[in-house]
Structure 1
Amino acid sequence: MIIGIGIDIIEITRIKKTLERQPRFSERILTEKEYKLFNSHSIDERRIEFLAGRFAAKEAYAKAIGTGIGSKLSWKDIEILPNESGKPVLKSNGSWTAFVSISHSKAYVVAQIILESSSS
């Protein structure tokens, strides 16, 4: 049974400008494993897309569980890593299954999260 849906869209230039103003922004948003992936991209545009995608997906997750990012949920409580085929997989301490979709265009990144109850 679906227990939550969240979606977020963000302008890639907004993330780029934030990273230029706050060089440690990526370290605040990304877990250690995500940060390693972020740094593995040699092209700056791809790094910004990656960061924007994780930002949007984490925002979408917070919307799906209904808390937002803040006192109950931090950026690092949510980790999104690719599986062996590249599909993004969300890990959190919630008792549900999360389905993740992240899509990029030239100017935007959109992410959607669907939460399904783990119990039947």
Structure 2
Amino acid sequence: MDFLVPEACSADFSQCTKEEAISRMVDSLVEVGAIPAEVGEDAAELVLKREQVGTTGIGRGFAVPHAKHPDLKRVVGCIARSSHGIDFDSLDGEPVHLLILLLSPADQFDAHMRALERTSTWLLGQPLP
């Protein structure tokens, strides 16, 4: 989980939408210098486009929104928590309380998949099927 940027992690998100949560998480990576400012807006849009393909709300209160961006040099991520819960259209229909955002270089498919696998194993105790 060395891709996580602790300075960008958020203790709690008050009531917000999935879109707002994703935007705030990307903004936090920009604010701490983990990703360039010019990448931030594009990255948030790419994550939201990925959500349109299928939810990243994997169940049990967890979501792993993610995307790949051509201007990134390494995988980065951050964690956010929502005590209230966020509607993420999760697979189990339950609200999300813990989000882990992953952004990866577009040309590093293997690194992206390893980060997703590590994240799901950490959250669920096993990789996603």
Larger RCO (CA under 8 A, 6+ residues apart): 1
Structure with greater strand percent: 1
Instruction: Give the TM-score of the pair, scaled to structure 1.
Output: 0.34
**Structure (1 or 2) with the larger CA radius of gyration:** 1
Instruction: Give the TM-score of the pair, scaled to structure 2.
Output: 0.32
